[in-house]
Structure 1
Amino acid sequence: MTEASQEIPPVVAPSAFATRSAKEASAYLIDQLVSVVKRHMPQIDPVLRGFAAGSNLTDYEMGRALQAQGILFQLVSIAEQAYAMRRRRFIERERGHDQLLGTFDQVLSAAAKAGVSADEIRAQLHALRIRPVITAHPTEAKRVSILEKNRRIYLLMRDLESTRWTDRERNALAAQVRDQIELLFLTGDLHLEKPTVEHEVAWGQHFFSETIFDLAPDLLAAFERALEKHYPNETFEVSPFFQFGSWIGGDRDGNPFVTNAVTRKTMSDNALASLGYYRQRIVELGRMLSLSPRAAHIPQKLRDDLERRLNALKDASSIRSRNQMEPYRQFCNLILYKLDQTLRATRGEAPADLRYSNADELIAELRFIEECLIEGRSATLASDLVRPLRRAVEIFRFSTVRLDLRENTTRTTAALCDLWRATQEGEPPGVETPEWRAWLDAQLQTPPLSADEREKFSSDTRETIETFELVAELQSRLDREAFGSFVLSMTHSAADVLGAYVLAKEAGLVRQGSKGVYCTLPIVPLFETISDLQDAPAIMRELLQIPLVRSSAKSQGDLQEVMIGYSDSNKDGGFLPSNWELYKAQARLTAVGIEEGVAIAFFHGRGGSVSRGGAPTGQAIAAQPAGSIRGRFRVTEQGEVVSFKYANRGTAAYQMELLASSVFMHALKSEREDALIPRAEFEEAFEEMSVAALDAYTKFIGDPGLVAYFQAASPLEEISMLNIGSRPARRFGARSLADLRAIPWVFAWAQNRHAITSWYGVGSGLKVFLDARGDKGLELLRRMYDQSRLFKLVLDEVEKALMMVDISIARAYASLVADEELRARIFSTIEAEYELTRSVVLRVTGAEQIGDRFPALRARLADRLPTINEVNREQVELLRRFRNTEDEAAREAIKVPLLLSISCIAAGLGATG
C-alpha cells in the first residue's frame, strides 16, 4: 500500500442522490469534511462533531475548529439548495410545471382559468418593469474564492444525482467533492484586508459571469412559452422587462471611498464585462452558423447588407478571406471585429476602425440575423441560437447594470450652501425656511455657474456636482441607460429633493424636451425613518406640483419612483411599526399618484434578515397594498442574499422567475382580491398595536445606557474587523445609536442571540390592544391572522425570529457588561418583552409552542442550533479575553478565532445583516 493511499481513505459515493433528502446529502458532505479534518488536524475532530468543548485547544486550533464548523454550515446550505432544486423538478415531473409555485406557467394557468383576457395580459406586460439592484452593503462574510469552491461542490452534487454513472465514474466524482472540501479547509476564510470598491465591483460581476448573463434571457423565453401554452392563438410582445441595477461603485452615502474616479472605473469595468460576454457568445454563434448556400436558402438581403457593412470598414480583407461560402459566419466575424474595436475604446485605447456607438446598433444587427434565418426557413435556429444573445444585449446593453448613484441630504445640502454663497449675500438660511425654498425655485430658472465661478466651491461640493456631470458624459459615451437614478437618502422634505434637481441643473442634466424642461437622470427620494414615511405622501404631492418634477416624470412615462427603507425604519421604530408605516406609505403614495395622474413606482430597500425586510419573496409581494406595484418593482439585493440567489444556476433561474411571476401576479390580481381590500377594523387595530409597539420600542432604545450595553454584550465593534465591506459602519464616524448603520445594528443583535430587531415591541403592542379590547380583540386578531396578508406575514416572521432567540445564551453575552445595574436593567427588560411576545403570539395563532407551524424550519434549526450555541458560548469567552488582553501579539492570536466565530454563526443562522 502506498503512502498516499494510507493517508487518504477511498471515497465511496452513494449510488445516487436523486432520491435522497437534504439531511442525507448533508450527512454525506459532513462525513467528507470530517475525513479531511481528521487527516489534517485530528485534535479538532471531537469539537467539529460536538463530542467535546474547545476549552483545551490553543487559539490557533480553536480558529481552525471554528473555520471547520463554518464550512459545515456552508455544506449543509449547499445540500439544502440542491435538495430544493430536486424537489422542484420532482413536482414538475409528477404534477406538471403549471403546479410549481412561483412560475409563469402557474400564474398564467390560474389567470386563464379565472378568465383574465389576453388584452389585460398585454396591458400588464406593457407596464412590467422589474429590476433587482445588487448593492455592496457589507453582509456577505464569504470571499469570492470560497463562493467559487461552494459552487463547484454544488455542481458535483448535481452530477452525483444522475443514475447514468458507473461505480468508477461515481467514485471519481465523489473524490472531486472531497478535494473541493479539502481546498475549503485549507483556504483562508477571512478577508485579510478591507476590500476596496473595486473588489466589490468584481464580487458583483462574479454572479453575472457565473449565472445571470445566461439566465436573464432564458427568463423571457420561459414567459413566452407559458403565454403560448395558456393563451394559444394569441400574440404577445415580451420586452426586456427584467434587468439588473447596482449600487456598487455608485453608493456614496457615508462611503468616502466611492469617488467620481471610482465610479468612472466601475462604469468601465461593467461595460467591459458585458462586451466581453457578447464577444464570447458571438464567437460561439459564428462557429454554429455554418450555413452554406449549397444547403440552405440565404436571403439576398443578407449578402447585400454584409457587403455594404464590409465596404464601410477600413480593412475588411481578413473577414472577406475567411468563410467565403458561409455568409452568416462572415456576418458574425464582422460583429466580432466591431466588438473588438468597442472594447478598445472602452479600455481607453484608440479604435482602429468602426465600433459600436451604442447597444442599439448591436441589437439591430442581431435582429437582422434573426430575420434572415426566419426568411430562410430556419426560424428555430433564430429563436434558439440568436434571440437569447439579442435579448441579453437588450437586458444588459453596454453597461451590464443600470448604476444608481446614492448620496445623502447632508452632503447635497452642504453643496447647495456653497452655491448659495456664490450667488447670494450672507450665509444661507435654514433649509426648512421659505427663503431657502424660494431660492431653490429661483435657481432652477437660472443658467449653471461657469467653471471660474465654481472655483470658489469646496472640493466636496465640486465632487458632488461633477458626479452629475459624469452621468451626462457616460450616458453619451458608454450607454444611454448606463445609469438608473439618483437616490437621495435622508429625504425629509420637498426642498431636499428640489436641491438635487438644482445640482443636476448645474451639471447640465436639465434639458428642454418635447414635454417641457426635464431632468435626464431620475431623482428618487428615499424615505427611511418612521416620521419620513408618514410625511412622504405630503412631500410627493408637493413635488408633483412643481413643473420640472412633473415634466421629468412625464419623460419617464408618467412615472415617479419613490424608495422606501425597511432597514432604517425598523431601527427607528421596531418591527411592527416599521411594517405598518411602510404599508400605509405605499397605499397613500399610490393614491397621491392616482390623484396627480402620475404612477408612483416603489423601490424597496430590503436586506436579507427579516428585520431589514427579508421575507419569502412571494409572500412579501402578495402582501403589498392593492395597486401599489402594477408591474413595476425595484428591490435591493444584498450580501448573502445575492450569493444565495445567484451563485448556482438552478437556484438563480428559480429565484428570478419567482420574483417576476410574483410581481406579475400582484399586478393581475391585487385590485380584485378580497385579501387586499382595505378593511377599516383591521387598519384601526393595526394602528393601535403599532402605536403601542412604537412606544415600547422607543422607550427601550431611548435608554441612555443601551449603547453601552449593546457594545459590551455583542461583537458590534469586532464585526468591523471582518473586512467584509468598503464602507464604514457609521455614516459620519460618530458613536451614537442614531448614526450607527442598520446593518451592524442587526448583525450584532443576531450574533448575541437577542435578535431584538425582528420582534421587540410586538408583544407590548399586541398586549395593549388585547387588554383594551378583551375577547373581542382576540377574535379580531385571529380573523386578521386568517384574512390579512400583512398581519400574517408580520406574525409569522416574528415567530420565526423567536425561534432564533436563546435567552440563556443572550444572558451569557450580557455577562460581558461590567456595570451590574445596567446589565440587570437592560437584560431584564429584553427578557420580559421576549416572554410577553412569545405568549401573545401563541395566543393569537392558537399554536401550542413557538415553531409548531413551521416544521421544516424547526427541523433545520434542530440540526444547526446545537453547533451554533456552542460557537456562541465560545465567542463570549473569546470576546472577554480579547477585550481584557493588553498584549498586542496575544490579542492578534485571539482575534482570528473571534472573527471566525462571527463568520461561523452568520453561516449557521443563514444571515448577517
Structure 2
Amino acid sequence: MPSSSSQALTQFQNLVGRKFQIYNSLFTSLPFHRIEKTGILLSLLLSYCEEGYDNKQSPSQIIEDFFSKHTSYAKEEDKLDLLFRFVQYVERQVVLFDALEDAAFTTVNDMNGPGTLKGLQSEVAQFDNESQLKKKLEDFSIRLVLTAHPTQFYPGAVLGIIHDLTRAIAENNINQINMYLQQLGKTPFLKEQKPTPYDEAISLMWYLENIFYQAAGRIISFMKTNLPEVVSADNAIMRMGFWPGGDRDGNPYVRTDTTLKVAGALRESIMRSYYLDVRRLKRRLTFKGVDVPLQQLELKLYNNLFVPGYKSDINKTEILNTLLQIKETLIYKHNGLFLDLIESLINKVEVFGLYFASLDVRQDSSVHTRVIEEIVKKTKALPAGYLSLPDNEKIQALLNVHTIVNSEDLTDEIHRDTLEVMAAIKDIQANNGVAGCDRYVISHADSALTVIEVYGLLLMSGWQAASLLVDIVPLFETVDDLDNAAGIMKELYELPAYREHLRLRKNKQTIMLGFSDGTKDGGYLMANWSIYKAKEALTLVSRAYDIDVIFFDGRGGPPARGGGKTHKFYASLGKNIANEEIQLTIQGQTVSSNFGTIESAQFNIEQLINAGISNDLFASQKVILQDTEKELIQQLAEKSLTAYLELKNHPNFLEYLGHASPLRFYAATNIGSRPAKRGGSGKLVLEDLRAIPFVGSWSQLKQNVTGYYGVGTAFKKMDEEGRWEELKKLYDKSTFIKTLIANCEMSMKKSFFPMTRFLSNHPVYGEIWNKIFDEYELTKQYIFRLTGKDELMADYPVEQLSVQMRERIVLPLVTIQQYAITKVREMEESGSESPHKQTLEKLVMRCSFGIINAGRNSA
C-alpha cells in the first residue's frame, strides 16, 4: 500500500471509525422512549446476525432466535414495535456515519494532490503546456445535471441536520453534536406521501444553494487567480443542469405548469443567493463610488424577489455590468480592497446566470409517435396519408411542417402537454435566459425518425425553424440502440434541414448515452463496452461531418448504473473519443456522497475538470486502445453477454427477484415521484421495469447481479482459449479496463450471500440462487488472479473500510427486511389472513430507507 494511502487509511480510522464508536454511544443516553434498551438490543442483534450467518442460519431463524433468547416479548405487536425502533435507530446511525465522513473529507483526501486543479497547475508548469491548456479552455466545460431519480432522498430537515452535524464534528463541539443527535432522534425520516416533482425540485435546490453555488465560486476563482492567462472570458468552465420538473419520461405527474413552476423557483433561488451575497458585500464595500451601485443592485434584486406582482426587470448582463463597474472602482480608487469578494460574485453570476441550472425536458419517443398519430387524425398539419408513409417520407413531411397545432384540438392530456411544454420553453427562455431551458432529451431514440418527430413537434408548437433555440438530444441506451447510434446520426447529419438547425446551434450535437437500461439489457461488461464503442463511432461520424459532438452520460450512483470511479473513466478515454465537454447526471446517493459538502463538491468537480483536460493534454498513445485490444474486449463482452442473457432469460428470473427482494414494495417507499415501471399494465415485465428499482432490488438483496454477472464466465472462457496473458497485459496497460474492474469489485464488495443462502435449496428458485452465487465466486477468483490481490477493493483501502463499516451498520436492517419479506410471503402462500401483514409490508419499506441511504459510497 502506498504511504499516501496508508496515511489516508489511518486518518479515516481515527476520524471516522473510532469517532463513530464514541458518538454512537451518545445515542444510548438520549432521553427518548426506551431508546437505551433499543441501542443495547440492536448491538446484540448485530452480533447475533454475524454469528447466525456464520452458522448458516436464515434471517427468519436469526430474528426468531433473537426474540426468544434476548427479549421477553410474547405479543407480535411488541416484536414488530422493537423491529421498527431498530430501523429508526439504524437510520440515524447512517446519518451519523455520513456526517463523520463528510467532516473528515479534507483530511482523508489530498485537496491539492493528483486530480485537483492545483495538481493540474503543477502538471501544466512541468510540461510547459500553457498554450495547449488555453486552447482547451476556450470551449471545454463540465455540466453536472441533477436528477431526482429515487436512489436516495433525505427529507430537507434531515439534510440540514447532516450539514450542521458535519460542521459540529469538524469543530469537535461535543455540546452541539449531542444537541443535533437529539434533534435527529426526534426528526421523522419517513415520507408519508410520495413527493411531487416540485417537491423533488425543491429538495435538490438545497444542494444548488448550499453546495454548488459556493463550490463553483471557489473553483472559478482559483482558475482565474492561478491560471489567469488561459481562462476564457466567454467560457464558464462549469454549468449545472436540472431534471426535476422537466423530466416527464414515464412520470405522469410532470405537466407544463410543473415545468414553469420549477423554472420560476430556479430563477428565484439564484436571485436570492445573489441578494444575500450583495447584502454581505455591503458590510465590506462601504467606500465612495461602490456603495451606491451596490445599494441599487440590492434594491432591484429585492423588488424582483419580494414585491408581489413586480414585473421582472433584471437580467444577467445588468448584474454583471454593475459588478464589473464596482470591480473597476475598487482597483483604481480603493487599492483593490476586498477585490476577491466582488470577483467571487462575478464568477457565480457568469456560471449561474438567472437560471441557476439549465432545465432539461425529457420524454419517451413512443409518446411523440402517439402525439403525431393524434395530430394526423385531428388536424391537417401533416399529410392525410402520413401514417402509411415509409420513414424517409415521414421525415420529409415533419421537416416541412408549416402549421401550428392548437393543443386544445388534442383529447389526450399527455399529448396536449407535449405541445404545451414545447411552447413553454420559449417563456422560460424569456425569463431565465436561453440557457435556462434549451434541451429536449428523447428516451429510446432508436431511429432518425424519432429525432425528427421532436423537430416537427417543436415546429407545430409554435417555434420557427430559423430561430429554433433548442438542442434535440437523442438518448441511446440499450445495446442494440448503442450499436445503431452512429448510423442514426449519419442519417440525421445528411438531412439539409437538420444540418441547418445544427448550424444555428453552433454546429454542436449533444448525444445522451445511458448506462442504466444498458446494464439491465446487456449486463455489466457489454453495456460499458457498448458505450465506449458508441462514443468512438459517434465521434468519428460527427467529425466527418464537421459537427462537434458532446456526450451526455446518464450515470447513476452504483457501478451497475454507470457510477463508481467516474472521473477515472473520463481520464481513460483517449483522443478517439470527443471530450470537449463532460456532461453527466448526478442523482440519488451520488449527490450526497460526492457533493454533500462544499469541500467534497469542490474536490470531485475538480477531479472531473482535471480528467477532461488531462485526457487531452497529457494522454499518451498508451491510453488509446489498439485494434487487437478492442477485439479482445469485444470477445470478452460477448462471452459475458451470453452468460448474462442465459440468466436473464431463465423463466423464473424476474419471479425470483420479486420473490426474494423488496422489488414489489419499491414503488411504495415514497422516495420518488415516478412509478417503478413504465406502462400501465398490472403485470410486471422486465422491459417495462425501470433500471433503478431493478438495480436497487438486487442491491438490497445484497446480490448486485448487474455489477459483475458474466465477468467471471467471460474470463474463464478466455482463459480456456489460452488468452489469459493477453487479458493480463491489457489490464496492466488500460486505465479503462482497470476502472471497469475496480467498479466491479465495489459491486461485489457490497454483496453478502450468507443472508440469502437459505434460498439455495428452494425447489423453484434454488437453481437461480446457485447460478448467481457460483458466478460471484468465479468472478472473485479471476479478479484476484488479474489484480494480484487477495481481497476486493484492495487498491482503495479507505473506500474498502467505508464499505465494510456501512455494510456492518445495515446488517440488522437487511436481516429484518428479509425476515419481513419471508413472513409476508408465507402468509400469502398459505392463504392465511393476518392483522400483522400490513405492518410487515410497511417494515419492508422502512428498511429500504436505511439500506439505500447507507449505500451512498457506491457513487
Same fold (TM over 0.5): yes
> In structure 1, how many angstroms separate the alpha carbons of the residues matched to 2:231 and 2:856?
43
Q: CA deviation at 1:634?
A: 0.8
- 1:418/1:796 Cα in 2 relative to 1: closer, same or farther (>3 Å)? same
Conservation of the 8 A alpha-carbon contact between 1:130 and 1:632: yes
Q: CA deviation at 1:287?
A: 3.0
Q: Equivalent residue for 1:330? A: 292
**1:890 equivalenced with 2:848 (yes/no):** no
Q: Show the 5 A alignment for 1:279-358.
A: 279-292=275-288, 327-343=289-305, 349-351=309-311, 356-358=313-315
Q: CA deviation at 1:828?
A: 2.2
Q: Equivalent residue for 1:26? A: 20
**1:83 equivalenced with 2:104 (yes/no):** yes
Q: Equivalent residue for 1:695? A: 642
Deviations 1:131-169 (A, max 9, x none): 100001111142221121111110001112xxxxxxxxx
574-583 or 728-737, larger mean C-alpha shift: 728-737
Which secondary structure does the structure 2 equivalent of 1:77 belong to?
A: helix
Which secondary structure does the structure 2 equivalent of 1:75 belong to?
A: helix
> In structure 2, how many angstroms separate the alpha carbons of the residues matched to 1:699 and 1:18?
42
Letter in 2 for 1:460: I
> In structure 2, how many angstroms separate the alpha carbons of the residues matched to 1:912 and 1:521?
34
Between structure 1 and structure 2, the one with the greater Rg is 1
Deviations 1:572-623 (A, max 9, x none): 0000001110100111111111111111110010000010010223312112
Q: Equivalent residue for 2:147? A: 135
Structure 2 unaligned spans of 5+? 1-10, 49-62, 72-77
Q: CA deviation at 1:650?
A: 1.8
- 1:427/1:454 Cα in 2 relative to 1: closer, same or farther (>3 Å)? farther
> In structure 2, how many angstroms separate the alpha carbons of the residues matched to 1:782 and 1:477?
56
Conservation of the 8 A alpha-carbon contact between 2:147 and 2:587: yes
Q: Equivalent residue for 2:329? A: 372
Q: CA deviation at 1:448?
A: 2.1
Which secondary structure does the structure 2 equivalent of 1:131 belong to?
A: strand
Conservation of the 8 A alpha-carbon contact between 1:750 and 1:912: no
Tell me the C-alpha RMSD between the 2 structures.
2.5
User: In structure 2, which of residues 648, 652, 661 is the aligned counterpart of residue 714 of structure 1?
Assistant: 661
Q: Equivalent residue for 2:7? A: none
Q: CA deviation at 1:372?
A: 2.4
**1:562 equivalenced with 2:511 (yes/no):** yes
- 1:238/1:440 Cα in 2 relative to 1: closer, same or farther (>3 Å)? closer
Deviations 1:675-702 (A, max 9, x none): 3222122111101111111111112111
* Count of residues in Structure 1 that have an aligned counterpart in Structure 2: 814
User: In structure 2, which of residues 674, 688, 702 is the aligned counterpart of residue 727 of structure 1?
Assistant: 674
Letter in 2 for 1:29: Y
> In structure 2, how many angstroms separate the alpha carbons of the residues matched to 1:908 and 1:277?
31
Q: Equivalent residue for 1:319? A: none
Q: Equivalent residue for 2:6? A: none
Letter in 1 for 2:813: V
**1:108 equivalenced with 2:108 (yes/no):** no
Identity value in percent: 24
Q: Equivalent residue for 1:312? A: none
Q: Equivalent residue for 1:204? A: 204
Conservation of the 8 A alpha-carbon contact between 2:410 and 2:416: no
Conservation of the 8 A alpha-carbon contact between 1:509 and 1:521: no
Which secondary structure does the structure 2 equivalent of 1:35 belong to?
A: coil
Letter in 2 for 1:247: W
Letter in 2 for 1:794: L
Q: CA deviation at 1:480?
A: 2.2
Q: CA deviation at 1:502?
A: 0.3
- 1:32/1:699 Cα in 2 relative to 1: closer, same or farther (>3 Å)? same
Deviations 1:290-348 (A, max 9, x none): 114xxxxxxxxxxxxxxxxxxxxxxxxxxxxxxxxxx4222122212222333368x6x
191-200 or 502-511, larger mean C-alpha shift: 502-511
> In structure 2, how many angstroms separate the alpha carbons of the residues matched to 1:649 and 1:128?
23
Q: CA deviation at 1:897?
A: 3.3
Q: Equivalent residue for 2:747? A: 801
Deviations 1:425-483 (A, max 9, x none): 766536xxx634313313322312353x9625643322211111001122123322211
Q: Equivalent residue for 1:167? A: none
Which secondary structure does the structure 2 equivalent of 1:496 belong to?
A: helix
Structure 1 unaligned spans of 5+? 1-16, 161-172, 293-326, 513-517
Which secondary structure does the structure 2 equivalent of 1:21 belong to?
A: helix
**1:674 equivalenced with 2:621 (yes/no):** yes
Conservation of the 8 A alpha-carbon contact between 1:627 and 1:667: no
- 1:682/1:265 Cα in 2 relative to 1: closer, same or farther (>3 Å)? same
Q: Equivalent residue for 2:562? A: 613
Conservation of the 8 A alpha-carbon contact between 2:666 and 2:676: no
- 1:236/1:604 Cα in 2 relative to 1: closer, same or farther (>3 Å)? closer
- 1:188/1:477 Cα in 2 relative to 1: closer, same or farther (>3 Å)? closer
Q: Equivalent residue for 1:873? A: 815
> In structure 1, how many angstroms separate the alpha carbons of the residues matched to 2:231 and 2:301?
34
- 1:18/1:331 Cα in 2 relative to 1: closer, same or farther (>3 Å)? farther
Letter in 1 for 2:403: P
Q: Show the 5 A alignment for 1:508-657.
A: 508-512=462-466, 519-657=468-606
- 1:225/1:25 Cα in 2 relative to 1: closer, same or farther (>3 Å)? farther
Q: Equivalent residue for 1:314? A: none
Conservation of the 8 A alpha-carbon contact between 1:760 and 1:834: yes
> In structure 2, how many angstroms separate the alpha carbons of the residues matched to 1:708 and 1:39?
41
Q: CA deviation at 1:357?
A: 4.4
Conservation of the 8 A alpha-carbon contact between 1:137 and 1:725: yes
Q: CA deviation at 1:280?
A: 1.7
Q: Equivalent residue for 1:181? A: 181
Which secondary structure does the structure 1 equivalent of 2:500 belong to?
A: helix
Taking structure 2 as the reference length, what is the TM-score of the superposition?
0.90
- 1:378/1:190 Cα in 2 relative to 1: closer, same or farther (>3 Å)? same
**1:411 equivalenced with 2:357 (yes/no):** no
**1:900 equivalenced with 2:841 (yes/no):** no
Q: Equivalent residue for 2:420? A: 466
Q: Equivalent residue for 1:4? A: none
Which secondary structure does the structure 1 equivalent of 2:363 belong to?
A: strand
Conservation of the 8 A alpha-carbon contact between 2:707 and 2:744: yes
Conservation of the 8 A alpha-carbon contact between 2:401 and 2:456: no
**1:824 equivalenced with 2:766 (yes/no):** yes
Q: CA deviation at 1:236?
A: 5.8
Which secondary structure does the structure 2 equivalent of 1:481 belong to?
A: helix
Q: CA deviation at 1:243?
A: 1.2
Conservation of the 8 A alpha-carbon contact between 1:147 and 1:647: no
Taking structure 1 as the reference length, what is the TM-score of the superposition?
0.85
**1:360 equivalenced with 2:317 (yes/no):** yes
**1:389 equivalenced with 2:342 (yes/no):** no
- 1:832/1:235 Cα in 2 relative to 1: closer, same or farther (>3 Å)? closer
Conservation of the 8 A alpha-carbon contact between 2:760 and 2:767: no
Q: Show the 5 A alignment for 1:429-440.
A: 429=387, 435-440=390-395
